[in-house]
Structure 1
Amino acid sequence: MSESTEISFEQTRKDFLSFLKYTKGHSDTTCYNYNSDLGIWQRWLLEAKLDWQNCSPTDVEHFVSHLSREGVGAHAVARKISCLATFYKWAKRNSKVQEDPIYQIEKPKRPRRIPVWLETEEQNAFIKATRNYDDIPDNIFGRSRDSLLEVRRRYELLFELIQKSGLRISEALGMKNRDVRVVDGVAKSLRVIGKGNKERQVPLPEAFGRVLALSIGGKDGDEYLFAKKPGGKPPTAHAVRAYLKKLIEKAGIDKKVTPHKLRHTYATRLLEKDVQLVDIQALLGHESIATTQIYTHAGQERLSKLVADI
């Protein structure tokens, strides 16, 4: 691969990522994943002495074999090929390449993952642990107990919000006070900007709505809902996951629980109440009903309980 081709790939990658972010409205996390996967593809091409503009479907199949030999899981392999498919489709449409090598290959199917969620008992234990402040020290690293208590309550509200609305962590952290519709002291719904800059309205249960409305009372509408300080930024998704991990351990729950698993929990509770998949799809902001169908496990759980004592 010549030096000019290498520079061409770098510029093309930057242009592609700009297209994803500013035209398609993809999140920073999605763009980061695309950038990472394209970097892995680029390094393999360099080692194989192949030109990214003139590689063949057979080259792509060799790349898949290489990933498998390196121990990359089936789901991750499928994601990388999906990334390349989007990249080369865009590149051909914009006259960066003459042929799309991904179009002609049989793409690996993503293995279906059974979602992880909290059972009702686990959810109750998690809420109890979150609201138990006995583990908060009087002082740590120069921070007072009051300061640490404020942090705990911010996370408590964040985790409850996800369990009551099914928001993605990026959606929750990007939410501002003005996105909460408050009527007579009750937060009725949330204005959510989801994937692809698509807007949806998510209703809230009344009891939680009162708590949320109280928390934002008198605050600037342009301020982030979970700002670490007035006028400041919210915590990072990484910090949220780390704090959640500590609370899950405190609750004695033997599962790997992430903010996205709390979103799964929300969807599971809805399905247990016989909410239709098409309504869950709208609430979660899924583009396709096929994505929502992973939650049919809840229906199977309920049927299993019904026949347990026959």
Structure 2
Amino acid sequence: MNREVVNFFLKHLQVERRLSPLTLRSYEIDLLQFLDFLAPENLLVNQIKSQTIRAWLVALSNQGIQNRSINRKLATLRTFYKYLQRRGDVTDNPMQTIRMVKTSKTLPTYLRESEMEQVFAQQEIPKNTFEEVRDQLVLMLLYGTGMRLAELIQLTPQQVNLSAKTLRVIGKRNKERIIPMPTILVDLVKQYQALNPFQSQYLVITDKGEPCYPMFVQRLVKKYLGEVSTLEKLSPHVLRHSYATHLLNRGADLNAIKELLGHSNLAATQVYTHNSMEKLKEIYIQAHPKA
């Protein structure tokens, strides 16, 4: 019964809320882990109390799961039980007394502008193959527009307007936004399309012409960023953080960056002001006679 209820919920998210496949997969993973925890006691999801959820949190913590990941799983359960409550499957929502666990605030990891210049300096060597241009395009899409990994994977040729130099990106909760494209990115798309021997509904594809997947992009990004940076975490999201930080350092308005990133509220964007402040301190120390 538990799995059947979860399947109905996932279908609801897909049809009613039109969540992306990657987001749906995250919900499914979290809920299946919760069902695994309930299985030994044969507990049903519509009968448990808050004590059971707290016991699951302790079990997750004992497994070494980070607090941020635990909070994501709690958010999944909160959405799940609101759904069950609306359906009338539960009368007392066990999530009502559950609070998020405390997390330490970490600043976004980003590359310096000089490091990004090195990345693209290496890319300036003439590229003649589809694979080489595709790699270059992936890096520039992520850094040149700040889009998310999930948005990159789902990007179609129809969302690219080369004449207007804009991209129409479908973000979280199916929210659309328009992002300007730098000229170098426009030229890259044209070169890529000319070299692409495959027919696909997606813009970025693998060497075999198949739809791109997260690990493929992650490996690609880590390969090229690893040549210029010693950061422990070299992921597609680091390029998104770099995009936002460099815009802010060069005087871009915070509200404009919020719109470009597709954030739903300004608080999510304000974290980049901390990185910008570090840049200002660095300049002050270097330039002020009394520093």
Fold shared by both chains (TM-score > 0.5): yes
Match of 1:224 among 198, 202, 219: 202
Displacement, 1:265?
Answer: 0.9
Tell me the equivalent position of 1:83.
76
Aligned-partner residue type, residue 227 of structure 1: I
Displacement, 1:218?
Answer: 10
CA distance in 1 between counterparts of 2:104 and 2:274 reads 16
CA contact (8 A) 1:125 1:251 kept: yes
Tell me the equivalent position of 1:13.
6
Aligned-partner residue type, residue 288 of structure 1: N
Displacement, 1:128?
Answer: 3.0
Structure 2 counterparts to residues 113-192 of structure 1, below 5 A = 113-131=106-124, 149-183=129-163, 188-192=165-169
Aligned-partner residue type, residue 95 of structure 2: I
Ranges in structure 1 where 5+ consecutive residues have no aligned partner: 1-7, 135-145
Displacement, 1:47?
Answer: 2.8
Displacement, 1:154?
Answer: 0.3
Match of 2:179 among 202, 206, 229: 202
For 1:7-54, what per-residue CA distance to the aligned partner results, in whole angstroms no more than 9, with x for missing partners?
Answer: x21111011111112221212111111111111111111234533212
CA contact (8 A) 1:34 1:83 kept: yes
Structure 2 counterparts to residues 1-310 of structure 1, below 5 A = 8-131=1-124, 149-183=129-163, 188-216=165-193, 223-228=201-206, 232-251=209-228, 253-308=230-285, 309=288, 310=291
Displacement, 1:167?
Answer: 0.9
CA distance in 2 between counterparts of 1:85 and 1:74 reads 16
SS across alignment from 1:34: helix
CA distance in 2 between counterparts of 1:154 and 1:218 reads 9
CA distance in 1 between counterparts of 2:16 and 2:103 reads 26
Aligned-partner residue type, residue 154 of structure 1: R
Displacement, 1:98?
Answer: 2.0
SS across alignment from 1:58: helix
CA distance in 2 between counterparts of 1:61 and 1:50 reads 15
CA contact (8 A) 1:190 1:201 kept: yes
SS across alignment from 1:20: helix
Ranges in structure 2 where 5+ consecutive residues have no aligned partner: none
CA distance in 2 between counterparts of 1:229 and 1:258 reads 20
CA contact (8 A) 1:129 1:247 kept: no
* CA 1:252–1:286: 2 relative to 1, 3 Å: closer
Q: TM-score, normalised by structure 2?
A: 0.88
For 1:218-265, what per-residue CA distance to the aligned partner results, in whole angstroms no more than 9, with x for missing partners?
Answer: 9899742223479x4332221111122222233354432111111111
CA distance in 2 between counterparts of 1:65 and 1:227 reads 41
Displacement, 1:304?
Answer: 0.7
SS across alignment from 1:250: coil
Q: TM-score, normalised by structure 1?
A: 0.83
Aligned length, in residue pairs: 286
CA contact (8 A) 1:177 1:221 kept: no
